A = this chain, B = another copy of it.
Amino acid sequence: MAIDLYKKEDHLLLAVDCIIFGFDGSRLKALLVKRNLEPGLGKWSLMGGFVKKTESVKEAATRVLNLLTGLTDVYMEELGCFGNVNRDPGGRVVSIAFFALIKINDYSESLMKEHNSKWFELDHLPALIFDHGEMISQAKEKLKDKVSTHPAGFTLLPRKFTLQQLQGLYEAIYEKEMDKRNFTRRILELGILKKLEEKEKESSRKGAFLFVFEKTRYEKLSKKGFRII
């Protein structure tokens, strides 16, 4: 962009920070990194970066997430703007927070070593720099909201999953136990899952049927929406 009709206005730094959620089968986790620059060098933080002039804010978030995880096509949504004057002691930085949902196994051990990153259970987070703790706590709330009416949660599970895995995910997000029969009925009635022939045999002798989320079925119904919880 060559022209700048607004030269005399304050120019400031704009950052993106990514709350990356994962699900290990029983608990919801967030991926944090050891910060590699001052201020806060060596402390735990969200993965973040500055928005460049040549990219959109969303593109910046995607780039930052890809840098850490190597992943593309990740479910990501804007959480909001964190714009207090002194939130970052290193300068006047406004941050746009995003939350992303990834399959925990898509993120390899080697990447964790490479980036000094680590999964943390949401109720055992370490001290975080700046307002990153607040970001995570807002993201948790927004996630609850989201998955109650949108099929976003599936992106935290493997492509093929059992109903009990899905229920475990919802229980982790809502931090409460649910009734197996009611949950099963509700989710199947939506008609957005396809039951496979295949069974998952790791966690029981009998084996549990695997399902996949069918996006096309969801799209037929999404106009009127749904409510899981």
Residues of A at under 8 Å CB distance from B? 1, 3-6, 9-14, 37-39, 50-58, 60, 78, 80-81, 83-86, 89-94, 96
Chain B nearest Cβ from A4, distance in angstroms: 4
- 30 A-B pairs with CB atoms under 8 Å apart are A1-B85, A1-B92, A3-B91, A5-B38, A5-B39, A5-B90, A6-B13, A6-B90, A9-B50, A10-B13, A10-B52, A11-B12, A12-B51, A12-B53, A14-B14, A14-B94, A51-B83, A53-B85, A53-B92, A54-B85, A56-B83, A56-B85, A57-B83, A58-B83, A78-B80, A78-B81, A80-B80, A81-B81, A81-B96, A83-B96
Q: Which of B14, B37, B85 lies in contact with A55, CB distance below 8 A?
A: B85
- Taking a contact as CB atoms under 8 Å apart, the answer to whether A13 and B13 are in contact is no
A10-B58 contact given A5-B39, A91-B4, CB 8 Å threshold = no
